[in-house]
Each structure stands twice: as structure tokens, then as C-alpha cells.
Amino acid sequence: MARRYNWAGDVIVRDTIVWNKRTVIGHNNVYIPCDIREWITSSRSEVMRQALQEIDLPTSRSSGTFDLRAWKIWKYVAEKIDYVNDQKMTGKSDWWLYPAETLALGKGDCEDSSFLLATLMAGSGISEDCIRVVLGRVLSKNGSYGHAWVVYQAESGEWCLMETTSKSVTPRLIPADPLTEDGATNRYEPKFCLNSTHLWSILPSPGSMAEYIKSREQTASPIGPSYPRPSRGDGPPSPI
């Protein structure tokens, strides 16, 4: 059966610093302590605004348009950003790009594309209250690994899961809870979630953020065919 997680987050985490995701330029062994919330950059960013102009977003705010807006941005990120793991791209086991860097490179891993998607969604006018980047694990037949994804609270009130490591998306928004079921080929297990304001743990509490980050340095592969999607996600989302 599906687990009923609180995708909005349960407990605010005060210690938001991560210590080993960026280094000083020219000093590969000098790590910069960074606030994890800074990876979801300002919705006022001109770089993000210009990227949003590439997407045919709805201009009205009528019923259904926010879900359509979220779906179109998800499709844009999935198709534009190629998945590549950190070891191959940077030589480091877990290195996080900022959204503008991911856009410039056109590639990144699960955290990179998730931070970009959340930033673009917020920049498009979707409330940050309805957006979370989730850090957790995916359990598959090949074992379990650290992963990141985005959840969006649709206009129906239901939280939907947006997988950014696939090159195509589903033709409709997918509710998150069924993807946590024990029988799922790729079972999502959230641990923490964040927006640019707060970091939350998702119960049952996994311990400290630092311990969790250290434990998840095995990076994810792109999610395979068990994530329900057509060969190309070219249609607009139908109601959940």
C-alpha cells in the first residue's frame, strides 16, 4: 500500500548548511559551506525569466492554468537538461550546480535539474507553498540510491511527483503517493524537502541533514521505464 507522506514537510530543520557541494575556484580541496536553500534561486532572476520566455506558458490565471504552467515547465526541463552523474561531469561524487549553471551546461544530475525546475516554477508565478524539492532515496530491483525530485501541489490539492531525469514526461501530472507503494519498481522514499524559505524533515525523521547527505553520495541513474510515461509527453495535462 502507499505510504501517506506529508510532502509539504513535517518538522523545520534549522541546520541548513551543507559542507561539501562546492569548492573555491582553483582550490579543489577548499569546500565552501553553503545554505541548501540557496540552490533554489530568486524567482526575480533575470536569467530564469529569460528561460521562461522560451516556454509557451498560459497568460491567464483561470482554473487549470497553474497545473498547465507546472506541466509545461517540467516538460521543458526534462527535455532540455541531459542527465549526467557528478563523477563523470566534475570528477566528484556529489557536486551540486546552481540553476543558471545547469541551464548553461544543458546537463546535470537529479539535484541540479530538480533545483532548476523548482526555481523556474516559482519564477513563473506558482506559489512556493506549492513547490518542494525532495531529497530521499529510490528503491529498485538494482538496490537503493540517493535521489532528488520535485513535488508540486496541484490545484486539486494533491501533491504530484515530477521526475526530472527522464527525457520525456507523462501527459498528465502524476500523484506522488502511489509512487511510494511497496510494489513499485522504483519506489520513492522522501527524507527531506525544501523551498527557498525552509528545509523540512519528512517523518519518520531520518536524523540530521548532514548525516543524510553523507549517506547518499551514491548518485542516481535516470529513472527507467517503470516511471509511467509515454514515449514523448507532448500533450497538456489532463485533470488528476
- Residue 188 lies inside a defined structural domain of this protein: yes
pLDDT of residue 24: 64
Residue 205's domain comprises 11-215
pLDDT tens across 123-174, in order?
999 999 999 999 999 998 888 888 999 999 999 999 999 999 988 899 999 9
pLDDT of residue 65: 96
- Residue 50 lies inside a defined structural domain of this protein: yes
What type of residue sits at position 45? S
- Residue 103 lies inside a defined structural domain of this protein: yes
- DSSP assignment of 110-122: HHHHHHHHHHHHH
User: How far is 145 from 207, CA to CA, in rounded Å?
Assistant: 17
Mean pLDDT of the chain: 84
- Residue 2 lies inside a defined structural domain of this protein: no
- Residue 92 lies inside a defined structural domain of this protein: yes
Is pLDDT at 201 greater than 90 in this prediction? Answer: yes
What type of residue sits at position 140? S
Domain count for the chain: 1
User: How far is 82 from 104, CA to CA, in rounded Å?
Assistant: 12
User: How far is 121 from 117, CA to CA, in rounded Å?
Assistant: 6
pLDDT bucket at 230, cuts 50 / 70 / 90: very low
- Residue 223 lies inside a defined structural domain of this protein: no
- Residue 235 lies inside a defined structural domain of this protein: no
Q: For position 193, which CATH number holds? A: 3.10.620
- Residue 201 lies inside a defined structural domain of this protein: yes
**Phi, psi for 151 (deg, rounded to 5):** -120, 145
pTM recorded for the entire structure: 0.86
pLDDT tens across 87-126, in order?
555 555 567 899 999 999 999 999 999 999 999 999 999 9
| Mean pLDDT confidence for 63-79 | 97
Pairing type for strands 107-108 and 82-83 reads parallel
